[in-house]
């Protein structure tokens, strides 16, 4: 009977240690995620500043495309089913 209590106590200690490790890992993941988004924002800001100072134009994939003109046309459902 004493052996069972010893095993139960050891399992409880291991579970508490694992829970603490999981909390620390989650906190670190949150910090890293926040640092990533801050760095991404700062990179964009620096890129814009550099483009303004050098007078360079952004690459073609970053130039906002003109939206397509809206068309109010009728499309029959029969043509969509094919």
Residue 55: pLDDT band (50, 70, 90) is confident
pLDDT band at 23; cut points 50, 70, 90 = very high
To the nearest 10°, report the CA torsion of 17, 21, 24, 30.
-140
**Which residue is listed with tokens 């906190």?**
27
Q: How many residues does the chain have?
A: 82
- What pLDDT score does 62 carry? 60
User: Would you place residue 32 in the very low, low, confident or very high pLDDT band (cuts 50, 70, 90)?
Assistant: very high
């Amino acid at each position: 009977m004493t052996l069972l209590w010893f095993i139960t106590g050891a399992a409880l200690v291991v579970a508490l240690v694992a829970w603490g490790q999981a909390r620390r890992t989650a906190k670190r993941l949150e910090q890293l995620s926040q640092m990533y988004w801050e760095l991404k924002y700062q990179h964009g800001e620096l890129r814009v500043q550099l483009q303004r100072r050098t007078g360079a134009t952004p690459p073609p994939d970053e130039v906002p495309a003109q939206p397509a003109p809206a068309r109010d046309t009728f499309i029959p459902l029969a043509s969509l089913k094919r």
